[in-house]
Chains A and B, each alone.
Chain A
Amino acid sequence: GAVVSQHPSRVICKSGTSVKIECRSLDFQATTMFWYRQFPKQSLMLMATSNEGSKATYEQGVEKDKFLINHASLTLSTLTVTSAHPEDSSFYICSARAGAKNEAFFGQGTRLTVV
């Protein structure tokens, strides 16, 4: 299957700082990528749809000024958590679609801890 690479896999940051998470499609181009958030032992909640060359589409209840998404190229989308708070601590995972069935492939996820 297609490969989606996410970096970093783990990050610890101080409250008030910003953290950038990268999502790359390694062997295909992705005009659309998706960012999810997952709390422990819970399901994935879609945060936003990242569109190459245009503004991201955010799900209801997601603060777009807090979770900045940039999709500047066909192989890279970034999620920046600005002014991080401890309640932003979570698992963030991205996905992109590829292949004949246009199925979703996921990155490895990023475990963010804000202290």
Chain B
Amino acid sequence: AQKITQTQPGMFVQEKEAVTLDCTYDTSDPSYGLFWYKQPSSGEMIFLIYQGSYDQQNATEGRYSLNFQKARKSANLVISASQLGDSAMYFCAMREGNPFNDYKLSFGAGTTVTVRA
């Protein structure tokens, strides 16, 4: 079974508007972490935001916020005030188990975001 599901292969958003990227996950481990990465056309993976399963509040990092709904097993990324430079592929990823043990990241299929002027 897929551990991370991103159902939106591609999205268009108008500059200065907000966009929500969907991510649902599947795990039976009570300890896990959720990550969002941005991958521009150059290929590098840029870390955006992290949410731990025990974190009480939703994570925020500048224009990025993570809408963490634990019961629904969803971790949607919200990008506010979109900029042209936000055009990229976005990946949701999950780490299962203790973060200080060896762990693997499971990645979703990704969502391509195109910001229009």
In the complex, A19 has a CB within 8 A of chain B: no
Interface size class of B (residues with CB under 8 A): 20 to 34
Q: State the Cβ distance, A93 to closest chain B Cβ, in Å.
A: 6
A44 B107 Cβ-Cβ under 8 A: yes
Contact A41:B45 (CB < 8 A) given known A49-B104, A103-B50: no
Which residues on A are within 8 Å of B, measured CB to CB?
Answer: 1, 32, 34, 41-44, 46, 49, 91, 93, 95, 101-109, 111
Which residues of A are found within 8 Å of B44, using beta-carbon distances? 106-109
Of the listed stretches B66-74, B78-86, B108-116, name the one at the interface; the rest are far from the partner chain. B108-116
Q: How far is the CA of A108 from the CA of B91 in the complex (A)?
A: 16
Q: Which of B35, B47, B52, B112 has a CB less than 8 Å from the CB of A1? A: B47
B105 A104 Cβ-Cβ under 8 A: yes
B35 A46 Cβ-Cβ under 8 A: no
A41 B112 Cβ-Cβ under 8 A: yes
Q: Which of B42, B89, B99, B105 has a CB less than 8 Å from the CB of A101? A: B99
B47 A43 Cβ-Cβ under 8 A: no
